[in-house]
Structure formats: structure tokens, C-alpha cells
Amino acid sequence: MNCPKHVRINEVGPRDGLQNESAWVDTEDKIEWINMLSKTGLPYIEVTSFVHPRWIPALRDSLDVAKGIARSEHTVYAALVPNLIGLEHAAEGGIDQACVFLSASETHNQKNVNKPIDRTVQELRRVITEAKAEKMATRAYLSTVFGCPYEQNVPIEQVIRLSDTLLEMGVDEISLGDTIGAANPLQVIAVLEALLPRIPAIKIALHFHDTRGTALANIIPALDMGITSFDTSSGGLGGCPYAPGSAGNAATEDVIYMLEQMGIDTGTDMNKLLYAAGWIADKIGKDLPSRNLQAFRTK
């Protein structure tokens, strides 16, 4: 198989992980955890979400978190921004990269942002334009690419159409999300075969949830097809509040263990990653799904 020399791991735990936790994590603890993650060498950390606190109360301290963290020059600090107000707060918080989000299936988009896809696209276009004016990097999440909890199969034509739209808006990266963790390696191949003739591999990230244990397996054909950017979360925290039965993201430690064993550099320190994942597990007060964390703790 083809293997890249280097892969970029995008840590989404502080956002995608915590947004789904019922336990409140104190602002100073979020900051300490993010600072730990920065010291692991991770090149990208999504630190919070500037959505209205009514929707995601677990991240209602987004501005304090963004302002409170220590910055590493090697890390890009990103945040989710749903609209222009969110973007304003993100800019005030010194966020480097603004992430917008959109579902590939109409029902999930409606449940997620209370708007149809076409109106969401109009809003995102304004956010992306403004983010660029603020000199921020941009990323678009396209959710439910590999399956929708409401509509089941999502037509590849819809994924192509929305990817084209996002690219045409000028986003720097599109993260294709397996929101419900239902993807399989052949589906990854099929989606990438459809998109790679239109979008350069360098602009695509893959965002797998591990609901059915297939997240790492899905990364293998993607690597072979030239994808070098993957979203993961510390300890395997995460899920989607609007996708019943969905589980955590691929665990950062598990993905990095596999890649490093394959001789693929991620620029990170495994001991520090394990420590950070164990630390947040203790703060939340539950076991996290990361296999490497479990092995480390039962040694």
C-alpha cells in the first residue's frame, strides 16, 4: 500500500468530545487540558465552539477558554463557528481557524442547525467570507457523508454537490464526517474515488467516529489514496447530540499508535498523549474508549 511520510492529526476532543458530555468541565480544567494537548506536539486543536450556549451549554465558556489557553507556535487553534456572531467571538478569542458545519443529509442538517441545507449554505458563505477578511484559516465540516441517522443512505451526488459548493466558497479544508460511525473501508474508497478528481487530497480531512469499531480500518484505504489529515479526539471522547447511538471519535492515541507503528510521522509524543487522555478521563469521571489508554492504565 501507499503510505505517506507524515500525517496531520486534528485534535477535536475539546470541542467534539466535550460538547457531547453531560459532565461540566471547569474552564480552568479545559484550559489545562488544552495546554497539555499543545505540549504533545499536535498540529491542530479545536478548542471550543462559538455556538449559542443554549444549544451547547457544556461549551458556554468558549471565549474564556480561547483567551485563557497558552499558544504553541506549532499548533493551529481552531473553533466551531455557526454564524457571524460566533465568528466575531472567535476573532476576539484569537482563534486561528474558523470551522463551519453542514450536513449532507437534509434531516440531520435541519435537526442540527434548525435550517434547510440551502439556507445554511448562504449563512456559511457569509461566515467564510468574513473569516477570510479576518485572515483566519477556514475549515468546513460536511457531516453524515457516510450515512445519516434519519435518512440512512446519503447519495454520493449530494456529497459531491456540497463539497463543490464549499470548495467554491474558498474553504481551506473540508472534513468529511462519518457522524454515526457507520462507514466501512469500501465506502471510504467509493467516496474518495468520487471526490478526488474534483478536490485535491490535501484539502480533504476524514472524521471517523468509532461507534462500530471501524474508524481505524477506514483510515487504511484513505492513506493508500493519499489522504493525510484525520480528525481524532483525546481518549476517544465524543459523539453527536443529534445522532442517536453515535459514539466517540477515533481516539487520538489509537490512530497515532497505528500510524507511528507504520512508520508515519505525526510529530507527537505518545506518553504525553496518554497522560492528557487519562487526565481528562479523570476529570469527567468515566472510562474513555481509547484502547491505548485502557492498555496503559491496566499495565
Residue 274 contacts a second copy per CB under 8 A? no
Determine contact, residues 95/78, Cβ cutoff 8 Å: yes
Which among 45, 168, 49, 155 is positioned nearest to 100, based on CA atoms? 49
Select 126 or 286, whichever has its Cβ closest to a second copy. 286
**Most distant pair of Cα atoms in the chain: their distance:** 52
- Which stretch, 39-47, 104-112, 159-167, 241-249, contacts a second copy (CB under 8 A)? 241-249
**C-alpha cell recorded at residue 119:** 439556507
Select 156 or 189, whichever has its Cβ closest to a second copy. 189
Task: Look up 148 and say whether it is catalytic.
Answer: no
d(C-alpha 16, C-alpha 19), whole Å: 6
Total residues contacting a second copy (rule CB under 8 A)?
A: 37
- Specify burial of residue 285 (Cβ count, 10 A radius: 0-12, 13-18, 19+): exposed
Residue 213 contacts a second copy per CB under 8 A? yes
**C-alpha cell recorded at residue 23:** 459532565
Candidate residues 23, 85, 133, 186; the one interacting with a second copy per rule CB under 8 A: 186
Select 194 or 217, whichever has its Cβ closest to a second copy. 217
Which among 173, 288, 290 is positioned nearest to 228, based on CA atoms? 173
Candidate residues 12, 37, 162, 216; the one interacting with a second copy per rule CB under 8 A: 216
* Binding flags for a second copy, 128-167, as an x/- string (CB under 8 A): ----------------------------------------
Which residue matches cell numbers 440512512? 152
CA angle 194, 186, 198 (to 5 degrees): 15
Residue 299 contacts a second copy per CB under 8 A? yes
Residue 251 contacts a second copy per CB under 8 A? yes
Residue 19 contacts a second copy per CB under 8 A? no
Candidate residues 219, 276, 280, 284; the one interacting with a second copy per rule CB under 8 A: 219
Output 21-28 pairs: Cβ under 8 A, ≥24 positions apart.
21/58, 21/237, 21/284, 22/58, 23/283, 23/284, 23/285, 23/286, 24/58, 25/58, 25/280, 25/283, 25/284, 27/61, 27/64, 27/65, 27/68, 28/68
Q: Active-site residue among 3, 99, 148, 240?
A: 240
Candidate residues 54, 135, 168, 263; the one interacting with a second copy per rule CB under 8 A: 263
d(C-alpha 10, C-alpha 51), whole Å: 20
Select 165 or 214, whichever has its Cβ closest to a second copy. 214
Select 107 or 184, whichever has its Cβ closest to a second copy. 184
Which among 150, 132, 149, 209 is positioned nearest to 175, based on CA atoms? 209
Note the residues at the interface with a second copy (CB under 8 A): 1, 3, 181-182, 184-187, 189, 210-214, 216-217, 219-221, 244-245, 247, 251, 254, 257-258, 261-263, 289-292, 294-295, 298-299
Q: So which residues are the catalytic ones?
A: 240
